[in-house]
Chain A
Amino acid sequence: MNQDIFVVIEHLRGQVSDISYIMLAAARALAQSQGGRVLGILLGHNAQGLAKNLAADQVLYLDHPSLADFTSDAYQRALASLITEQAPRAVFFGNTSIGADLASFLSAHLELPLLHACHSVTSEGKLISQICGGKIMTESDLANTMTLVTMIPGGFKSEEGQSEKPPEVTSMTTPALENLRVTLKEYIEPEVGDVDISKEPILIAVGRGIQNQDNIELAEGLAKALDGVVCASRPVVDQGWLPSTRLVGKSGKKVKPEIYLTLGISGAPEHIEGIVDSKLIIAINTDPSAPIFDVAQYGVEIDLFDLVEALTEKVGQAKG
């Protein structure tokens, strides 16, 4: 095992994902206390260009037609052989639709320890994970052996993992990728909704605390009074109470409104990820320990059902 820290660069349809830069920033923080170089691991086909702004000491590039788009089987095989050969100190993966298909699988397959949901790195090189919907943090060291890490956003800015100076890119040998059991058939574009929530200046966001579909009307009433639009966290969309075009967070849209007012949203990391660029967050939730209050500028602990009606009326009066 050497001291290098690998970062598996994620990209989707020709775009490097933000989490890749966030992981590079985390890996650099870890390298500062532990030593070692930060190496970007790029898998793709004719995709060297994606390396150009990665803040890495070096990029190891694996090229193969089967690596052009992410599929778990091909990526697992290519990474398993690279990690075994190179024996780095740690390998970072995003806790995303790409990285989460790889990290746990490789941990079991290669018998390597895995630290999940890393959010930040302390100056002593300790890794802080965030679990239980953001309510609990844990602190761990890397294991004594090569360690796999999955990373969530929140602790680093993506700019910290970008560089104007292109890194050195080294092409590596790709193992034979035959008889692959997972193949990509096509991409389906997101539904085009009646509104694009990523462009709306006033958003009223509803979460599990709204309790049932009929209560969405309350939020709609407030949104209408404020000339805003209603959006939601994952449980509300999974229940079919609002369409997926209104979903905010990891699997939905990232929003950047002037005002983001939440009704009964606890603030799980998957949701926070989509709202951090909001100018002003106002959270209404009866649970004082809800993590949403850690990102909101203003918080209200009273029952949303009592408040929304009164507030809607007052907004109406204020508008005359």
Chain B
Amino acid sequence: MNILVLIKLVPDLVEELTIDAGGTTLDMTWLRLIINELDDHAIEEAILLKERGEASVTIVAPDVEGVDDVLFTAAAKGADRLIKLTGNFTEQVNNHALARAFTSIIKDLNPDLVLTGVQAHDDLDGSVGPLVAGYMGMPYVGYVSRISLSSETATVHKEYPGGVIAVMEVKLPTVMGIQAAEQPPRYVAVSKVRQAMKTATIEERTVDELDLSGGVTVSRMFQPEISERATMIEGDEEQVSARLIEIFREAGVL
């Protein structure tokens, strides 16, 4: 079983986001990029499937600042092969272009199963998984939180609101959008990542042209207007607690 995990890096929302002078994109100058959290879940699910049976796991990521560390971390967790797509990924490349770039690798490697995070917080033109499935003509199921494999099918848990789960059977090869791995993404010690840097190699594949069609043109990007912002309670913890007690009393819960 050949499993491909498609990942991308996204702005770390812990940092302050600023909009660039043009007013239509984020200012990337000081932005720290981290792995899309749900892609990390996709890696975890792939590693779990590998540990349960015969499977090899290949991770594919576009070449942006910080990607090597992310790929070596995946190797330290148990990924077998690392591929970096090189090209002009430094500009704000949309998901349609990224999905097309991933498609060329999929055609080369013929995986049985393609996993990716069901969405990313910076998606503005759809999500990578179903876009890839659409270009490949492969079946797609998203919001997946559990996968078991047989030689020709995957049986998956698909999440619906309110905790309802649909059990679906999907013919391989297929693309899955992961909402959550069966267990939290594992932690790897820095020493193990360092070791992976020495032993694992990152293969590079060049993407000559990025085709952005299918995205939409943003005419303005802005931070939400704070029309009804919360009344902030100032003071130290004693003062704030005292005010909260009053609020609890007004609300009739004390």
Asked if A299 and B122 make an inter-chain contact with CB atoms under 8 angstroms apart, the answer reads: no
Asked if B119 and A238 make an inter-chain contact with CB atoms under 8 angstroms apart, the answer reads: no
Asked if B216 and A115 make an inter-chain contact with CB atoms under 8 angstroms apart, the answer reads: yes
**Distance between Cα atoms of A115 and B253 in the complex (Å):** 44
Is B236 part of the contact surface with A, judged by Cβ < 8 Å? yes
Asked if B216 and A147 make an inter-chain contact with CB atoms under 8 angstroms apart, the answer reads: yes
Asked if B164 and A189 make an inter-chain contact with CB atoms under 8 angstroms apart, the answer reads: yes
Asked if A188 and B245 make an inter-chain contact with CB atoms under 8 angstroms apart, the answer reads: no
Asked if B247 and A251 make an inter-chain contact with CB atoms under 8 angstroms apart, the answer reads: no
Residues of B within 8 A of A221 (CB): none
Asked if B214 and A282 make an inter-chain contact with CB atoms under 8 angstroms apart, the answer reads: no
With A72-B139, A301-B232 already in contact, the answer to whether A131 and B245 are too (CB < 8 A) is no
**Distance between Cα atoms of A105 and B177 in the complex (Å):** 12
**Distance between Cα atoms of A131 and B120 in the complex (Å):** 9
Measured as residues with beta carbon below 8 angstroms from the partner, the interface class of chain A is 35 or more
**Distance between Cα atoms of A17 and B162 in the complex (Å):** 12
Residues of A within 8 A of B139 (CB): 72-73, 181-182
With A183-B169, A318-B245 already in contact, the answer to whether A138 and B164 are too (CB < 8 A) is no
Task: State which residues 41-85 of A face B: CB under 8 Å.
Answer: 69-73
With A132-B13, A139-B222, A289-B16 already in contact, the answer to whether A117 and B123 are too (CB < 8 A) is yes
Is B254 part of the contact surface with A, judged by Cβ < 8 Å? yes
Q: Which of B49-57, B74-82, B151-159, B194-202 contacts A (4 or more CB under 8 A)?
A: B151-159
When C-beta atoms are compared, the residue in chain A nearest to B160 turns out to be A97
Asked if A251 and B179 make an inter-chain contact with CB atoms under 8 angstroms apart, the answer reads: yes
Residues of A within 8 A of B184 (CB): 238-240
Residues of B within 8 A of A111 (CB): 213-214
**Distance between Cα atoms of A150 and B216 in the complex (Å):** 12
Is A186 part of the contact surface with B, judged by Cβ < 8 Å? yes
Asked if B124 and A183 make an inter-chain contact with CB atoms under 8 angstroms apart, the answer reads: no
Is A177 part of the contact surface with B, judged by Cβ < 8 Å? no
**Distance between Cα atoms of A139 and B142 in the complex (Å):** 27
Is B141 part of the contact surface with A, judged by Cβ < 8 Å? yes
Majority DSSP secondary structure for residues of B touching A: mixed
Asked if A100 and B219 make an inter-chain contact with CB atoms under 8 angstroms apart, the answer reads: no
Could you say which of A132, A234, A239, A315 contacts B11, with CB atoms under 8 Å apart?
A: A132
**Distance between Cα atoms of A228 and B88 in the complex (Å):** 52
Measured as residues with beta carbon below 8 angstroms from the partner, the interface class of chain B is 35 or more
When C-beta atoms are compared, the residue in chain A nearest to B227 turns out to be A294
When C-beta atoms are compared, the residue in chain B nearest to A114 turns out to be B126
Asked if A300 and B134 make an inter-chain contact with CB atoms under 8 angstroms apart, the answer reads: no
Asked if A190 and B163 make an inter-chain contact with CB atoms under 8 angstroms apart, the answer reads: yes
Asked if B125 and A100 make an inter-chain contact with CB atoms under 8 angstroms apart, the answer reads: no
Task: State which residues 97-144 of A face B: CB under 8 Å.
Answer: 97, 100-109, 111-117, 126, 129-141, 143
Is A3 part of the contact surface with B, judged by Cβ < 8 Å? no
**Distance between Cα atoms of A168 and B252 in the complex (Å):** 48
Nearest Cβ on chain A to B127's Cβ, whole angstroms: 5
Asked if A140 and B127 make an inter-chain contact with CB atoms under 8 angstroms apart, the answer reads: no
Nearest Cβ on chain A to B86's Cβ, whole angstroms: 23
Asked if B16 and A297 make an inter-chain contact with CB atoms under 8 angstroms apart, the answer reads: no
Asked if B174 and A96 make an inter-chain contact with CB atoms under 8 angstroms apart, the answer reads: no
**Distance between Cα atoms of A13 and B160 in the complex (Å):** 11
Asked if A307 and B229 make an inter-chain contact with CB atoms under 8 angstroms apart, the answer reads: no
Asked if A300 and B164 make an inter-chain contact with CB atoms under 8 angstroms apart, the answer reads: no
Is A268 part of the contact surface with B, judged by Cβ < 8 Å? yes
Could you say which of A71, A138, A282, A310 contacts B237, with CB atoms under 8 Å apart?
A: A310
Is B99 part of the contact surface with A, judged by Cβ < 8 Å? yes
With A104-B130, A108-B134, A298-B231 already in contact, the answer to whether A139 and B218 are too (CB < 8 A) is yes
Residues of A within 8 A of B160 (CB): 12, 97, 251
Q: Mark B157-200, 1 if CB is under 8 A from A, else 0.
A: 11111111111111100100101100110000000000000000
Nearest Cβ on chain B to A279's Cβ, whole angstroms: 7
Asked if A108 and B220 make an inter-chain contact with CB atoms under 8 angstroms apart, the answer reads: no
Asked if A258 and B126 make an inter-chain contact with CB atoms under 8 angstroms apart, the answer reads: no
Residues of B within 8 A of A258 (CB): 251-253
Counting chain B CB atoms within 10 Å of each CB, the highest count among A107, A134, A139 belongs to: A107
A interface residue numbers (CB < 8 A to B): 12-13, 17, 69-73, 95-97, 100-109, 111-117, 126, 129-141, 143, 147, 150, 181-191, 201-202, 226, 234-235, 238-240, 244-245, 247, 250-254, 258-259, 266, 268, 279-283, 287, 289, 291, 293-302, 306-307, 309-311, 313-315, 318-319
Given A104-B126, A114-B96, A301-B232; 8 other pairs, CB 8 A cutoff: A100-B118, A100-B142, A113-B213, A133-B13, A137-B221, A139-B220, A182-B141, A281-B230
3 smallest CB-CB distances across A and B, nearest first, come from: A108-B134, A190-B163, A104-B126
A sample of 5 inter-chain contacts (CB < 8 A) reads A101-B130, A108-B132, A132-B11, A184-B166, A293-B226
